[in-house]
Structure 1
Amino acid sequence: MSRLNALRGRFVDAPDSLGAKARARRWSWFAASFPNLREMSVIDLGGTASAWLRAPVRPARVHIVNLEHPPADLPDWIRADVADACELPPGILDDSYDLVFSNAVIEHVGGHARRQMFADAVHKLAERHWVQTPYRYFPVEPHFLFPGFQFMPLAARTAVLRRWPLVHTPSSDRDTALRHAMEVELLSVTEMRHYFPSSRLRYERMGGLVKSIIAVKR
């Protein structure tokens, strides 16, 4: 079991993993897409302060919105609020930003209606955006590292999450595994075009196959 857990590190979590290399490439694309990033105010829907503190790029200001409470000690260029990105309070929704950033969040918000609310918030908050999500038809589901997981019946996905050692946080009981399985709904290209019709879609590939989709508006 420990050997298999170590495989997750090699594929996703370790500094020299495939996942880390993909993240570095994505940051490079992001910086190239917005060359004035150092002067911009960015709102990150669903992100974390730790991700920005590790990032090789730094905007002038970052406002993070997440359902989880942020660390108490943040640098002065990062602001963090606890809020639902699909139902932002007026104090955030009515503010003005240069750019909306979101990385692998829209697939977690829960159904078409809430994805549309999320996309509507992106369009309202700023003229420019960068919204990334894993691609539904990549053969290995990226959250659980299980081939074809997203196409399996819910009962089978639940059973996998109770036993599969490459899951980030294994679920020992059925109810937790069921909840985790239902919390992820990967998106297709058609859906991303619907939510972001005026954006350019950029495709991140692995082994020649599309691994994730990024809606970019500059």
Structure 2
Amino acid sequence: MRKLFNWVFDESSNSNSLGNQFRQKRMIFFKKELEKLPKPIKILDVGGYEDFWINAGLNDVGSIHITILNLDARETHFQNFTSVDGDATNLSKYGDNTFDIAFSNSVIEHLYNENQQRKMAKEAMRVGKNFYVQTPNKYFIIEPHYLLPYFQFLPKKTQFLILTKTKLSRLQKWTKEAAQQYLDEILLLSKKDMQNLFPGCSLWEEKFLGMTKSFVAHNFK
């Protein structure tokens, strides 16, 4: 029973979690597009981490180099990975079309406000010849960060009380600090929001039980 709970409620960074299984299914689409591009390929992963690419089977692939950008650089363990520090909303250290792909998975919804999201979108489109930016669907039945139905539409005060006073979210009580941090930073996006942030993009919809679980804005041909 505990394994079942862990499978459902663990963070997507856990390779054995349900969330990670969804991520790997999304990567099937990405890897198909990757195969169409001439090698070598340079990818900028905005806000990602090494384990994500290991799970995708792209570690030690000599024809693909992945630069992983976060607020703080982190240790990497494979020759085709480089970790750098940087700001998703300001990639001025890189010129236009520096990378073959600007990639981001479940990051843009963590930028606090629309202005920051707009800056990130513009930078991804600028530094990448191609871009792939994924985010959960605001109107999906389950809010993905808290794993609660329609939690995103409750008042902030109610959300805070549920997180800190009950174990309804991921079977645990959140600390006040962690709850407030997430409530402050997360701003989910709709289909229309993504189309406005990435004008002229193609929008791939991840489906679950006939419902749209997340969106991927991209410009792959």
**1:170–1:54 distance in 2 versus 1, CA, 3 Å:** farther
The equivalent position to 1:171 in structure 2, one of 155, 174, 188, is 174
CA distance in 1, matches of 2:72, 2:182: 17
Q: Would you identify which runs of 4 or more consecutive aligned residues in structure 1 move more than 6 Å? A: none
CA distance in 2, matches of 1:39, 1:84: 25
- Mapping of residues 79-118 of structure 1, within 5 Å: 79-88=82-91, 90-93=92-95, 96-118=98-120
Equivalent residue, structure 2, for 1:63: 67
**1:147–1:33 distance in 2 versus 1, CA, 3 Å:** same
CA distance in 1, matches of 2:120, 2:71: 14
Q: For structure 1, which segment, 152-161 or 73-82, has the greater mean C-alpha deviation from structure 2 after superposition?
A: 73-82
Equivalent residue, structure 1, for 2:23: 23
> What displacement does 1:20 show?
3.2
> What displacement does 1:93 show?
4.7
CA distance in 2, matches of 1:148, 1:48: 28
CA distance in 2, matches of 1:168, 1:47: 26
Structure 2: which amino acid aligns with 1:48? Y
SS at match of 1:204: strand
> What displacement does 1:92 show?
3.0
**1:196–1:95 distance in 2 versus 1, CA, 3 Å:** closer
> What displacement does 1:18 show?
3.6
**1:41–1:203 distance in 2 versus 1, CA, 3 Å:** same
Q: Give TM-score, length-normalised by structure 1.
A: 0.87
CA distance in 2, matches of 1:198, 1:168: 41
Q: Which has the higher helix share?
A: 1
Aligned 8 A contact 1:144 1:168 in 2: no
Equivalent residue, structure 1, for 2:128: 126
Equivalent residue, structure 1, for 2:35: 35
Aligned length: 213
| Percent identity between the two aligned chains | 28
Q: Deviations over 1:56-101 (max 9, x none)?
A: 3456100111124312x4322111111111122x333567110111
Structure 1: which amino acid aligns with 2:107? V
Structure 2 spans left out of the alignment, 5+ residues: none
CA distance in 2, matches of 1:170, 1:82: 32
Structure 1 spans left out of the alignment, 5+ residues: none
Q: Give TM-score, length-normalised by structure 2.
A: 0.86
Equivalent residue, structure 2, for 1:216: 218
Equivalent residue, structure 2, for 1:143: 145
Structure 2: which amino acid aligns with 1:144? Y
Aligned 8 A contact 1:46 1:66 in 2: yes
